[in-house]
Structure 1
């Protein structure tokens, strides 16, 4: 079998592409201790740029404006994390009573099962005892690991805040650095692309924050009306986890529904509560998100799923959160870079390039 020069050239291109992909994965994997906090800082700095500019318009110098913007981020994120930790600690301290509630729920399920299927509670007992203990132990382990993860995030918050401050402080120098490596005839085009990218990224992040806030308000009002235990904890967790597309909203709606069947004294009340939660999920996904965020940076569902899977493999939960806006940035750059428009078309939802 002989290879033509054209086939050899194609094989060389494929090999180069594979090597490039492997190098990217290696860089992302081994560079995660630096890249994860840096990207978090970069996204937060992009979100705070307009506020920083507003402070400068009020005669703040760049140092004071950057420091004030970083302090706002610290107050919001630090407050949320501390509030979550305090609520989670209370939940863990009450885990014994929660075990009793779950066992009561299982006992009720056994009773209903026996009345419907004529299978006695004694026949169900062996099945439920082993599995209920496994579920409870697993639940306690997951919650403990989650709290430890939040504590670690709190300890890493300082590094993220340092990146936010420095990126805001030196934003002009970074822009000038990019322009120094840009040919003169392309400077206006590159400046237009970077300005548009900053604008769209800010719009996406601020829109996502507003959607999460509105969902949190709907959740908390519903939880208070139905007197759901640990309402604040579930609201904070359920709101923040929606930042992970598809998987996040599913978990966000599933947890309060499970809690309603554990703690509510009647099944009809739990069913009504579950229906309301599902309606709020639909409002968030099909009303608030398209209206507030729009479709300019929307990725098609396949790309979002791929981003979540790859991000989870490479960086865990942090990757599941960060890789989606990263792919959105790649889409923005591709849409405004000659020769890369097909990539933007592939990543996006719109039918036009």
Structure 2
């Protein structure tokens, strides 16, 4: 017997359900975040595992282990490089501290000459700065210990989750079919395939973009003579996995380091200009050409997803926000009652009528006509011969 509820009651239940879902996501964050990363890595590694099983005839457990070892080796090399660079960077702290002191004196002298602001006692400034640094160091140490513990747990749990998801993928597929009628299983398989393609396109494209952006960043910083240019270039490119915000953080750190190391504002401005130029290339040429329209989410939806993901799961939620909302869009497009939400999330260029479609068709007709004319001339020449 179907129970009909008033619209206001249905909407109230939906809102309460969303609130309950967000609360559960925050409550079980320690389990859901590694599981979400594991699902992404499992979908990314699935083609490699499948090729190892079918083409190389490697048993499934060994194929999964080889794929995991490859991923862990690449990530380990990146972590090792960043750690070495950070340790080397700490040796510059004394020089940076002296340069910061000289920069403070120059700023105070400029303010006194231009605006008559009496300079503060430098010793007081240094004492306050040291006190602030001690507080920051204490907080940073606590956060580092917490993050290290979480990272160790993540590196332990995520590979286990990935192995289980890949090893039991046939069983999980049969489990999913238990909830779907036989006449609808083909559409479910197509939806799952679309989700897998979206995730694979996003992650693989993002990796290629990170490599290209790191090369461009490093080349620009090396041209300016910035110390640790390769480290800052790679670090900023890795932060591009956090949309819109990551590139700002990645540009701010080398700019402040350059300002503190050289004491010249123009050097920091040039560093920021390099990152702005690379960001322009990445946003308008690199990412559209590599990733294409596989993850066709409009910027407004991406920003909202970024904020919501950061509020629920922190930095991990910001990283996961774009691929998760892309998965939701695929699911919305596959289910008829939810298609309006898929339309809302879609990029406007994908749903708006093409303004230049007639011109493009006209050029295509001319091109095809020229091709037909050339083929006719060739046929006439062959007949004459």
- TM-score category by the smaller chain? 0.7 to 0.9
Corresponding residue number in structure 2 for 1:44: 41
Name the SS of the counterpart of 1:157 in structure 2: helix
Tell me if 1:15 matches 2:39.
no
Task: Name 1:108's counterpart in structure 2.
Answer: 106
Residue 218 of structure 2 corresponds to residue 207 of structure 1: no
What's the secondary structure of 2:337's corresponding residue? coil
Query: Displacement, 1:341?
Result: 0.8
SS at match of 1:278: helix
Distance 1:254 1:31, change over 3 A: same
Q: Match of 1:152?
A: 149
State yes or no: 1:83 paired with 2:97: no
Distance 2:351 2:216 in 1: 35
Question: For the residues of structure 2 that align with 1:88 and 1:138, how far apart are their CA atoms?
Answer: 21
**Conserved 8 A contact 2:255-2:271:** yes
User: In the alignment, which residue of structure 1 is the partner of 2:383?
Assistant: none
RMSD: 2.8
Structure 2 distance, partners of 1:222, 1:137, is: 34
Aligned counterpart, 2:245: 247
Q: How does 1:1-353 map to 2 (within 5 A)?
A: 9-56=6-53, 57-92=55-90, 94-117=92-115, 119=117, 122=119, 132-133=129-130, 136=133, 140=137, 144=141, 147-148=144-145, 151-155=148-152, 156-264=154-262, 266-350=264-348, 352=351
- More deviation, 133-142/93-102: 133-142
Q: In structure 2, how many angstroms separate the alpha carbons of the residues matched to 1:123 and 1:196? A: 63
CA apart distance, 1:91: 3.5
Query: For the Cα contact (< 8 Å) 1:220–1:231, is it kept in 2?
Result: yes
Query: CA, structure 1 residues 55+247, in 2 after alignment: closer, same or farther (shift >3 Å)?
Result: same
Deviation track 1:277-312 (CA, whole Å, cap 9, x = no partner) reads 210111112211111112332322222222122222
Aligned-residue offset at 1:260: 1.9
Q: Is the 8 A contact 1:239 1:252 kept in 2?
A: yes
Structure 1 moving runs of 4+ over 6 Å:
none
Deviations 1:41-69 (Å, cap 9, x if unpaired)?
A: 11111111222222222222211111111
TM-score normalised per structure 2: 0.80
Q: TM-score, normalised by structure 1?
A: 0.87
Larger Rg: 2
User: CA, structure 1 residues 54+143, in 2 after alignment: closer, same or farther (shift >3 Å)?
Assistant: farther
- Quote the Cα distance in structure 1 between the aligned partners of 2:131 and 2:245: 24
Deviations 1:310-334 (CA, angstroms, capped at 9, x unpaired): 2222111111111222111101111
The Cα of 1:138 is off from its aligned counterpart by: 6.7
Contact 1:88 1:147 in 2 (8 A): no
Residue 143 (structure 1) shift: 5.9
1:168-223 deviation digits (Å, cap 9, x = unpaired): 22222222322232211101111111111101110011111111121111222233
Report how far residue 149 of structure 1 moved: 5.8
Deviations along 1:103-131, whole A, 9 cap, x unmatched? Answer: 232223334444544545x3585996577
In 2, the alpha carbon distance for the partners of 1:85 and 1:199 equals 34
In the alignment, the residues of structure 2 paired with residue 145 and residue 93 of structure 1 have an alpha-carbon distance, to the nearest angstrom, of 22
Change (3 A) 1:26 1:150: closer
Asked if the contact 1:37–1:160 (Cα under 8 Å) also holds between the matched residues in 2, the reply is: yes
Deviation at 1:71, TM superposition (A): 0.7
Q: Is the 8 A contact 2:198 2:326 kept in 1?
A: no
Whole-Å separation in 2 of the counterparts to 1:267 and 1:59: 60
Other structure's SS at 1:339 match = helix
Aligned residues: 347
